[in-house]
A = this chain, B = another copy of it.
Amino acid sequence: MSIEVVLADDHAIVRQGLGALISQEQDIKVVAEASNGKEVVDIAKKSSADIFIIDITMPILNGLEASSQIMQINPKNNVIILSMHDNRAFIERALSLGIKGYVLKDSAADEIILAIRAVYRNEYFLSPRISTFVIQDYIDARGQKIGEKKIVSLTEREREILQLIAEGYTNKEVATHLKISVKTALAHRNNIMQKLGIHRQADLIRYALKEGITAI
């Protein structure tokens, strides 16, 4: 009996390339493919694959939201995130959702194979670059070295405002849109920048795009 996987990535060529790669293993079989978040959720409703390999940046429904829904459909569903981003915030979100695999696109091909087998055995698998700082944070937390921890977490409201900023709204427009004072919008903006250690709008927008808070 082989491990059944579902592939979700918005780029067909990447998806098929990955399929070709995985199919070289005798014990793994691609049973379905999806090109956006909604599609893979629909597949999860019908099929019962062993593992869902999901790209984060996808249209309609992003990979993390899709993963969340897939795991709600059946808590036994396993997800491996395939991403080009190695951001703390992203990985934190993925892990807190209960995702057990997180593989970076710029890592070697055999990592995804290792990840599939590990997650199938109900183990965790993170790309080395990621596990490095996950472990580091764990050590820091154990050693009570927290306090100076700079692990960023924006509030809901801050996320909302950051998205508007990244979409090209000025502070005045953000304020109007949210029916709050310009001063409040500015205060949120400043808090976001302080939390992130960012000093320029350009970097704020790049951050939002990188984090998938807004799409291009």
Tell me the bound Cα distance from A164 to B136 in angstroms: 34
Chain B residues whose CB sits within 8 angstroms of the CB of A35 once the complex forms: 106
Asked if A107 contacts B12 (CB within 8 A), the reply is yes
Chain B residues whose C-beta falls within 8 Å of the C-beta of A19 in the assembled complex: 17
- Within A1-45, the residues touching B (CB, 8 Å) are 10-14, 16-21, 24, 35
- Per-residue CB contact flags for chain A residues 110-154 toward chain B (1 = under 8 Å, else 0) read 011000000000000000000000000000000000000000000
Q: Does A166 contact B (CB under 8 A)?
A: yes
Report how many copies the assembly holds. 2
Instruction: Fill in one digit per residue for A161-180: 1 if any B CB lies within 8 Å of its CB, else 0.
Output: 00001111110000000000
The interface residues of chain B lying within 8 Å CB-to-CB of A200 are 168, 170
Note all chain B residues with C-beta closer than 8 A to A166: 202, 206
Give chain A's interface residues, CB within 8 Å of chain B. 10-14, 16-21, 24, 35, 82, 84, 103-109, 111-112, 165-170, 200-203, 205-206, 209-210, 216
6 contacts between A and B (CB under 8 A): A11-B84, A11-B106, A13-B108, A202-B205, A209-B216, A210-B216
